[in-house]
Amino acid sequence: MRCPSCSHLESKVVDSRPSEDGAAIRRRRECLACGHRFTTYERLGDNPLIIIKSDGSSEAYDRQKLMRGLLIACAKRPISPEQLSSLIDSIETELRNTSRNEIGSKDLGDMALVRLAKLDDVAYVRFASVYKDFQNVEEFAAALEGMN
Ligand SMILES: [Zn+2]
């Protein structure tokens, strides 16, 4: 959302509520650069999903990026790109059904992991090692045991 006052791209949402007809979300935003407050209307259904990263910054959800991560995790495993595509479809559907516009990168990783675990153990561990940000070896070992 570009600030109408100074064109800065980052703003925070200070209030959001459904519009009167329920087909959109009305958001009050505050520009992080100049503090200008403005209102946006976002249609439900075609909102870009925002990923909140662990350092607090955000970026637009990128299906291709998620797919790349999954393809790397599934290298040389008996999983087809079609299976990964439907895995991502399933995540996107769940997010749409809960009307979430924002999700933490770790939560998104978890949603992928739950689905990956059903497809392939090796791919699960590879993906987990990247996305779960394990604190220590014990935690990693516990996750491995949880797969059995
Ligand atoms: Zn501004």
**pLDDT tens, residue by residue, 138-147:** 555 565 556 5
Q: Quote the pLDDT of residue 51.
A: 85
Q: What are phi and psi of 79, to 5 degrees?
A: -125, 130
Phi-psi region of 77 (alpha: psi -120 to 50; beta: other; left: phi over 0): beta
Contact in structure between 42 and 25 (CB atoms under 8 Å): yes
User: Using CA atoms, how far apart are residues 91 and 112, in angstroms rounded to an integer?
Assistant: 7
Confidence (pLDDT) at 87: 95
How many angstroms separate the alpha carbon of residue 83 from the centre of ligand 1? 43
Give pLDDT, residue 22: 67
Specify the pLDDT at position 47: 60
pLDDT at 147: 53
Alpha carbon of 108 to ligand 1 centroid (Å): 30
Which tokens go with 73? 């995790």
Question: How far, in Å, is the centroid of ligand 1 from the Cα of 12?
Answer: 11
**CA proximity to 117, closest of 52, 73, 66:** 73
What's the CA-to-centroid distance between 104 and ligand 1, angstroms?
25
Instruction: Name the nearest CA neighbour of 123 among 70, 63, 82, 67.
Output: 70
pLDDT (tens digit per residue) in 100-125: 778 888 888 889 999 999 999 999 98
| Beta carbons within 10 angstroms of residue 136's beta carbon | 8
Question: Which pLDDT does position 35 carry in this prediction?
Answer: 96
CA distance 62 to 127: 17
- Residues 6 or more apart in contact with residue 106 via CB below 8 angstroms: 54, 131, 132, 133
**CA–centroid distance, residue 101 to ligand 1 (Å):** 22
Output the CA 52–ligand 1 centroid distance in Å. Answer: 21
Question: Ligand 1 centre and the CA of 14: distance in Å?
Answer: 14
3-state DSSP assignment of residue 55: coil
pLDDT tens readout for residues 3-21: 999 999 899 989 888 777 6
Q: Where are the domains of the chain?
A: 1-47, 49-146
pLDDT at 148 over 50: no
Q: What is the pLDDT of residues 31-80, one digit of tens each?
A: 999 999 998 877 655 567 888 887 888 888 888 888 888 888 898 999 99
Q: Residue 41's pLDDT is what?
A: 77
